[in-house]
């Protein structure tokens, strides 16, 4: 590789792309699944494509400059390259990967590792953890990537176009647009602007540029007018139009000049405000040395919108040699953007670029730095939730996704429905999860109900009792909360029979209630609910024994408005779920002696309960 670099320093232009290589809540199941790592000096100006092959000719509108592609070697015969290896092997998931993304089945990851196309660039794909996005089912479908290069039938243009989809985004649509003639003389910037406009009319939304103005750095561009002077009005305006009409994202190779600053065109969003949030500058990573490629320019003043991607020893079916250059790092980022656009089609470009930057793995100095920018592109992090998980509600006010606790009978019926729903992360991206993984069924606390005597108030006329009481049957917390305990009206039937000192008794009640949901709840409402309880037993002096069923729901429904993703326009989709609450009653037996009562409840919907209660009075 050193020999190639020495050769490159003698060239007037360089290709950036495809050159042959030269040498929150850890008690929550969903949160734990996605975050196991947490719970656990200026010279002649030239325009080039980053490669080692010289590109003759120039752009008429370029002030004192030449255009060149950005690669380190070409197949045109100017330089020789090391052949692509024929037998590569991939280590197992367990030994090679930092095992995050616990939502992904290991067999799905192994399938990706054993893919011939993955093995071709195994080290590079491991660095950006593309196996995870593939295992999650994302392939870039729906994105239109425009590659501005020599053309898809040329060595450089063909390899850039291939890497713009390839293994990372195989279902993305890629169209090549020429920016140079057959003799590889670059067109004027005005002509390139017209080509960009053509791509915009053809609905391109990701634009890949693996070429640069050589020998002018981003730091040397003074202002917007200076940028227009070295390009053209129509070129700049075509980029602005694409960003506004197609919400386009522009991916630019930083250049192969061994410099501490990226090439001049990488400075576009610094001086053309309309491009802010629509632009990603890309430096090249050497997966062998685990450092910046020795030929790559650094991010420099573009660090706030700069990212790092593999750009050394890349292998494609388009060439028999390995590829080095920021030219080839750039289309890897373009493919990654296609993956994000497919997975979250409602995200706008500023959100997508910020997502890539936020989820990049930090390299070099802590935080954003002038060498690596935000760090390494990471498709595992970019395709899993980021930040606080929220549950969207129909009233438009989301609530935090924390484990909800629901009383036994109702919780049991909710879990038996096996409902899936969506939550959103800090970027508003919808992710599916199971309701069962986010709720816990809790016991009613029969002993507490007895101690409070259910807060009952009533009047008895003969054997019939009328009244009201508080019921804890519907109590829930978090995103399944309802408004305190429900007031239940009841009618009861009591009867006592005395046989000597033995008293036989029975007590049955039928209740009627209509609970209400909290405003911060996925529960949209309830129907009228009917409950029932029954008990029979006997008393002998200070002893008593009874069997029966505590208050049980015998009919009624709960309604949930569950979020189920987002439409492409960003609207949330809600589905109404009906939970039939009638359930098998629990069986209870208790015994009392004077002030002490003990009991056992056999719950069909959760853990059984044993309780002991001591009653007493203090008289003054």
**What pLDDT, on a 0 to 100 scale, did the predictor assign at position 453?**
54
**Residue 68: pLDDT band with limits 50, 70, 90:** low
3-state secondary structure of 470: strand
- Integer angstrom CA distances of residue 616 from 450, 588, 597, 613, 619: 14, 23, 12, 10, 10
> Higher confidence at residue 452 or residue 378?
378
Which residues make Cβ contacts (< 8 Å) with residue 478, sequence separation at least 6? 399, 400, 402, 403, 404, 405
With a cut of 60, say whether residue 583 has pLDDT above it: yes
Sign of CA dihedral 358, 363, 365, 371: negative
Mean pLDDT confidence for 547-571: 92
> Higher confidence at residue 133 or residue 101?
133
Which residue stretches of 164-310 are H helix?
A: 189-201, 224-230, 233-245, 268-271
**What pLDDT, on a 0 to 100 scale, did the predictor assign at position 585?**
85
**What pLDDT, on a 0 to 100 scale, did the predictor assign at position 88?**
46
Mean pLDDT confidence for 154-170: 96
For residues 84 and 110, is the Cβ–Cβ distance under 8 A? no
**What pLDDT, on a 0 to 100 scale, did the predictor assign at position 178?**
96
Which residue reads 């959760």 in tokens? 606
Q: Report the share of the chain in percent with pLDDT over 90.
A: 60
| Claim: this prediction has a pTM higher than 0.85 | no
For 559, the enclosing helix (H) or strand (E) is strand 557-566
For the beta carbon of residue 354, count every other beta carbon within 10 angstroms. Answer: 16
d(CA 444, CA 448): 8
Mean pLDDT confidence for 346-356: 97
CATH 3.40.50.200 region(s) of the chain? 7-23+41-86+142-377
Which residue reads 């009906």 in tokens? 578
d(CA 509, CA 45): 92
pLDDT digits over 199-228, tens only? Answer: 999 999 999 999 988 889 999 999 999 999
- Which CATH number describes the domain made up of 7-23+41-86+142-377? 3.40.50.200
For residues 353 and 334, is the Cβ–Cβ distance under 8 A? no
For residues 534 and 527, is the Cβ–Cβ distance under 8 A? no
**What pLDDT, on a 0 to 100 scale, did the predictor assign at position 32?**
60
d(CA 175, CA 145): 6
d(CA 194, CA 200): 10
Beta bridge partners of 610: 600
**Residue 20: pLDDT band with limits 50, 70, 90:** very low
With a cut of 60, say whether residue 89 has pLDDT above it: no
The closest of 364, 368, 371, 297 to 330, measured between CA atoms, is 297
Q: Report the share of the chain in percent with pLDDT over 70.
A: 80
Which residue reads 């990654």 in tokens? 336
**Residue 430: pLDDT band with limits 50, 70, 90:** very high
With a cut of 80, say whether residue 582 has pLDDT above it: yes
Q: DSSP secondary-structure letter at 84?
A: P
Give 3-state DSSP helix, strand, coil % of the chain, rounded to 5.
25, 30, 40
d(CA 177, CA 123): 30
Longest dimension (CA), the chain: 119
**What pLDDT, on a 0 to 100 scale, did the predictor assign at position 604?**
79
**What pLDDT, on a 0 to 100 scale, did the predictor assign at position 6?**
31
Mean pLDDT confidence for 90-105: 54
**What pLDDT, on a 0 to 100 scale, did the predictor assign at position 10?**
27
593 burial via Cβ count (<10 Å: 0-12, 13-18, 19+):
exposed
pLDDT digits over 261-278, tens only? Answer: 999 999 999 999 999 999
**What pLDDT, on a 0 to 100 scale, did the predictor assign at position 602?**
84
**Residue 558: pLDDT band with limits 50, 70, 90:** very high
Beta bridge partners of 291: 286
Mean pLDDT confidence for 519-534: 91
**What pLDDT, on a 0 to 100 scale, did the predictor assign at position 5?**
37
**What pLDDT, on a 0 to 100 scale, did the predictor assign at position 468?**
83
**What pLDDT, on a 0 to 100 scale, did the predictor assign at position 21?**
33
> Higher confidence at residue 103 or residue 446?
103
**Residue 412: pLDDT band with limits 50, 70, 90:** confident
Which residues make Cβ contacts (< 8 Å) with residue 36, sequence separation at least 6? 99, 100, 102
**What pLDDT, on a 0 to 100 scale, did the predictor assign at position 96?**
41
**What pLDDT, on a 0 to 100 scale, did the predictor assign at position 168?**
97
**What pLDDT, on a 0 to 100 scale, did the predictor assign at position 13?**
32
**β-strands 523-526, 502-513 pairing:** unpaired
- Integer angstrom CA distances of residue 148 from 17, 211, 602: 12, 9, 71
With a cut of 50, say whether residue 190 has pLDDT above it: yes
**What pLDDT, on a 0 to 100 scale, did the predictor assign at position 517?**
85
Mean pLDDT confidence for 294-302: 97
**β-strands 68-70, 420-424 pairing:** unpaired
> Higher confidence at residue 93 or residue 56?
93
Beta bridge partners of 421: 433
Q: DSSP secondary-structure letter at 18?
A: S
Indicate the average pLDDT of the chain.
84
Q: How many CA atoms lie within 13 A of 608 on its CB side?
A: 8
**What pLDDT, on a 0 to 100 scale, did the predictor assign at position 529?**
93
Mean pLDDT confidence for 331-355: 97
**What pLDDT, on a 0 to 100 scale, did the predictor assign at position 612?**
83
**Residue 467: pLDDT band with limits 50, 70, 90:** confident
**What pLDDT, on a 0 to 100 scale, did the predictor assign at position 9?**
32
Beta bridge partners of 529: 513
With a cut of 70, say whether residue 67 has pLDDT above it: no
Least confident span in 95-104, 110-119, 280-289, 492-501? 95-104
**What pLDDT, on a 0 to 100 scale, did the predictor assign at position 27?**
61
């Amino acid at each position: 590789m050193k020999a190639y670099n020495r050769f490159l320093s003698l060239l007037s232009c360089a290709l950036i792309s495809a050159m042959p290589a030269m040498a929150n809540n850890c008690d929550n199941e969903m949160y734990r699944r996605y975050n196991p790592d947490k719970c656990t000096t200026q010279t002649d100006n030239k325009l080039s494509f980053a490669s080692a092959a010289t590109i003759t000719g120039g752009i008429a509108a370029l002030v004192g400059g030449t255009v060149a592609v950005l690669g380190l070697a070409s197949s045109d015969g100017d330089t020789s390259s090391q052949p692509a290896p024929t037998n590569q092997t991939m280590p197992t998931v367990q030994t090679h990967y930092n095992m995050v993304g616990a939502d992904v089945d290991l067999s799905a990851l192994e399938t990706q590792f054993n893919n011939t196309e993955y093995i071709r660039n195994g080290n590079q794909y491991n660095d950006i953890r593309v196996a995870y996005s593939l295992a999650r089912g994302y392939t870039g479908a729906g994105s239109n990537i425009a590659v501005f290069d020599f053309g898809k039938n040329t060595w450089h243009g063909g390899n850039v176009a291939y890497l713009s989809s390839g293994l990372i985004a195989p279902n993305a649509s890629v169209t090549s647009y020429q920016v140079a003639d057959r003799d590889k003389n670059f067109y004027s910037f005005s002509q390139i602007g017209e080509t960009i406009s053509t791509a915009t009319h053809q609905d391109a939304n990701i634009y890949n540029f693996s070429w640069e103005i050589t020998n002018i750095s981003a730091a040397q561009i003074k202002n917007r007018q200076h940028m227009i002077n070295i390009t053209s009005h129509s070129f700049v305006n075509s980029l602005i139009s694409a960003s506004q009409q197609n919400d386009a994202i522009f991916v630019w190779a930083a250049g192969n000049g061994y410099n501490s600053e990226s090439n001049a065109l990488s400075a576009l969003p610094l001086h053309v405000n309309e491009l802010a949030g629509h632009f990603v500058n890309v430096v090249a990573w050497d997966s062998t040395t685990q450092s910046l490629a020795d030929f790559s320019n650094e991010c420099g003043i573009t660090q706030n919108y700069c990212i790092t991607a593999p750009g050394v020893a890349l292998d494609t079916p388009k060439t028999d040699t390995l590829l080095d250059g920021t030219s080839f790092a750039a289309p890897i980022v373009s493919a990654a953007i296609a993956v994000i656009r497919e997975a979250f089609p409602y995200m706008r470009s500023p959100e997508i670029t910020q997502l890539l930057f936020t989820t990049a793995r930090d390299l070099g100095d802590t935080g954003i730095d002038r060498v690596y920018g935000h760090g390494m592109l990471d498709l595992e992090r970019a395709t899993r939730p980021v930040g606080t998980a929220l549950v969207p509600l129909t009233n438009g006010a989301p609530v935090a996704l924390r484990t909800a606790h629901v009383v036994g009978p109702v919780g049991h019926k909710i879990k038996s429905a096996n409902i899936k729903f969506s939550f959103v992360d800090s970027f508003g991206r919808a992710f599916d999860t199971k309701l069962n993984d986010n709720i816990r069924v809790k016991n009613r606390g029969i002993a507490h109900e007895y101690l409070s005597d259910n807060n009952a108030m009533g009047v008895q006329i003969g054997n019939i009792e009328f009244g009201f009481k508080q019921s804890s049957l519907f109590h829930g917390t978090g995103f399944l909360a309802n408004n305190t305990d429900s007031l239940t009206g009841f009618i009861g039937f009591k009867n006592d029979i005395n046989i000597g000192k033995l008293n036989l008794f029975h007590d049955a009640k039928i209740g009627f209630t209509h609970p209400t949901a909290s405003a911060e709840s996925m529960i949209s409402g309830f129907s009228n609910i009917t409950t029932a309880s029954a008990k029979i037993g006997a008393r002998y002096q200070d002893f008593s024994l009874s069997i029966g069923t505590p208050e049980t729901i015998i009919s009624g429904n709960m309604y949930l408005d569950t979020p189920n993703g987002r439409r492409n326009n960003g609207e949330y989709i809600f589905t109404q779920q009906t939970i039939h609450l009638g359930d098998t009653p629990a069986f209870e037996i208790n015994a009392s002696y004077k002030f002490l009562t003990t009991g056992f409840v056999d719950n069909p919907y959760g853990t059984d309960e044993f309780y002991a209660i001591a009653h007493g009075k203090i008289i003054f």
